[in-house]
Amino acid sequence: MNFLKKAVGLTSSTPAEKISAIVPLSEESQECNPQECHNTFASRCFKLDPVDMKSQLWESAKPFDFHVLVSTGSSDWIHDAFTDGPEDGMLQLLNGYEFGKFGKVKLNVSSVGFPDGDDFTDYEDGKKADLLLMPWFVWVKGLDKNNYKTVLDQVLSTLTTKDDGNSSEKLNDWQKIEKEEGSPSQENEHRASKEEHDNFRLPGVIEGAKISKDLSKSYIFLCSHRTRDKRCGVTAPIMKKEFESHLRELDLYRDEGDDRTGGVKVVFTNHVGGHKFAANVMVYNKHGEFVWFAKCSPLNVGPILNETVLKGRVFPELVRTAKKFDPISW
Residue 303 CB-half CA count within 13 A: 22
Q: What percent of the chain has pLDDT over 70?
A: 82
pLDDT tens for each residue of 126-160: 999 999 999 999 999 999 999 999 999 999 999 99
Q: What is d(CA 227, CA 236) in angstroms, rounded to the nearest whole number? A: 13
Note whether 190 and 255 are within 8 A (CB): no
Omega before 135 within 30 of 0, i.e. cis: yes
Where is pLDDT greater, at 53 or 69?
A: 69
Confidence bin at 170 (pLDDT 50/70/90): very low
Band (pLDDT 50/70/90 cuts) for residue 35 is: confident
**Of 38 and 254, more confident:** 254
pLDDT at 176: 34
User: Among residues of the chain, what percentage have pLDDT more than 90?
Assistant: 68
Residue 165 CA to residue 181 CA, distance in Å, equals 30
Distance CA 185, CA 182 (A): 8
**Tell me, what's the pLDDT at 53?**
66
User: What's the sign of the alpha-carbon dihedral 37, 323, 138, 115?
Assistant: negative
CA dihedral (124, 130, 131, 136) in degrees, to 10, reads -150
| 58: confidence class by pLDDT, cuts 50, 70, 90 | very high
Domains plus CATH for the chain?
Answer: 15-60+215-324 (3.40.30.10), 66-213 (no CATH)
Half-sphere exposure of 314 (CA within 13 A, CB side): 33
3-class SS letters over 231-297? HHHHHHHHHHHHHHHHHHHCCCECCCCCCCCCCEEEEEECCCCCHHHCCCEEEEECCCEEEEECCCC
Give the amino acid at 196. E
**Of the candidate ranges 3-7, 47-51, 213-217, 297-301, the one whose mean pLDDT is the lowest:** 3-7
278 has a pLDDT exceeding 90: no
| Cα Rg of the chain (Å, integer) | 20
Selection from 26, 148, 23 nearest residue 93 by Cα: 148
- The predicted structure's pLDDT at residue 97: 98
- pLDDT for 134 equals 99
pLDDT digits (tens, 9 = 90+) for 282-310: 999 999 999 999 999 999 999 999 999 99
HSE-CB for 171 with a 13 A CA cutoff: 22
Put simply, whether the predicted model's pTM sits higher than 0.75 gets the answer yes
What's the confidence (pLDDT) of residue 231? 87
C-alpha–C-alpha distance, residues 71 and 82, integer Å: 12
Confidence of residue 3 (pLDDT cuts 50, 70, 90): very low
Q: Would you say 263 and 220 are in contact if contact means Cβ atoms under 8 Å apart?
A: no
Q: Which one-letter DSSP state was computed for residue 75?
A: S
Mean pLDDT of all residues in 183-195: 46
Taking all residues of the chain, what is their mean pLDDT, rounded to a whole number? 86
Cis before 236 (ω within 30): no
**Contact between 304 and 283 (Cβ < 8 Å):** yes
294: region left, alpha or beta (phi > 0 left; psi from -120 to 50 alpha): beta
